[in-house]
Structure 1
């Protein structure tokens, strides 16, 4: 490694920088990440190439979780490196920026491996990472593996985590694993490497990929928890600025109108869980199509009583109608999560899982 890259990687004085009025202490890896972000792809390439495998991983992990770096922080950092530098803009270290930088000088398969480790559970090696995977997720994966493979994994992860995973497996399988662990002698290095490689390719890779959620999906969930007026206000404003994103969010949301796509059995199950006064209030602000849909899934007597209850209500606040309709949507999601009903955005589409 050349002197320049060694200075970037090993700097460890923990310079205290001020960000947003608060002191913030950066580690050596974080300081190196800030400098490499500022240098960019073209000027930072030589430094990246001078780092060894462990240094690349440490700096990459620090960069991916760095967050905002203000111009003031940059200036103090560069003074510490004996190279005064001023900048007009701020930098942000995140996963996407890190991946783009790594792709500029590393092979794609190596970048993928590094990014999978960053996105996946914390830990310096495979076994530390496995110990940080929720026991239910790990047990669901291991239940389809050979008992000997499970035994190897159980001997390598933290004992308390192994205990929780074993308790979630079927009794006959967990007992077989325990038996094999008792009879297990030293594990050959090639066998251990094979198990580790299989876990990295088949399990950790999928785990890191599934953990990456689409930003529109996240926003759709947030919008689903707005009251109706706030939801309309935000979507209307977003459509003016970014129509495509607004449409994606709208398509992912589950709203009161989507209840009209329930099949008869699901609708009737939902109606049995809604209090009569809440149902009348929710439908008070609904259109004729919605009223017809719900009353058609009720007995004639119950439908007649519902219409009478709605008429008795008289004028109601829009906020109260929104709250009642939101409560129906929330109850539908609860029933779907427990498997009691099936909900979808359009008839014939795949079921939504909440």
Structure 2
């Protein structure tokens, strides 16, 4: 290396050198590296990458040359990836032992997945977690950094704090199927955050959600929407077939649905549902039968969110099929009557 060039390169800070290196390798490669860094490191690098200026081509060439020189010196035989070790150890000692060994080596199977939540604002994360069972809330907090977990806990109602902390304190080992549920929940959380803070808006779905909870004259509003665009109004009505719409049905409709749809599907679908919705559905049943439903719902162990959502979606699919066959008069919104 040119001695003058080497001297000039020393004037560039390590943070600047890292920022220049990341900017030089493209978005995809840079993202792979950033995922391995901590929150503070990512913040410092991001701020530097955004502000860096007056970097010459010679500076970039020198930094890249230094990097590859150091790489050639230190690389040798690289360590095995987790995927490689997992496959090898699975064959050698079995899946369960292999997972335990690798979790010790790599700091837990969920470390990288949960790390993404460090960037989610606490208020937004709480809004998502409030929709989850308290055991899942405790599980998420158990895997987050203590400082972030404490901030999030403080945003929950005070009467829940001891229950959540007690559940965390009693955690010793998380089974594989629970880990899969947690991964699924994390993906839904990331998707939820993207919908809340991103620029994408599903206007039809949003209007359907608004109409499902609209306290005014739904029939009149829908008729006005049809004057604007019939196809759009039909799409909105189609989206309004959510589980919440069951609360607007007549006693005859609910009785028909409770008769035609299997009991176990109802019990799963009503697990964790809004109390008012559950009561409006069970109110049409004889008292003894309604009590049986309530006992089954209460005694059922915590269910994966995806299983409950699947049960609710299946019920609404049956509703649509019955309507299409002319067997059911399902009201998406209260209609005006005369008489």
Higher relative contact order (Cα pairs below 8 Å, separated by 6+ residues): 2
Higher helix share: 2
TM-score above 0.5: no
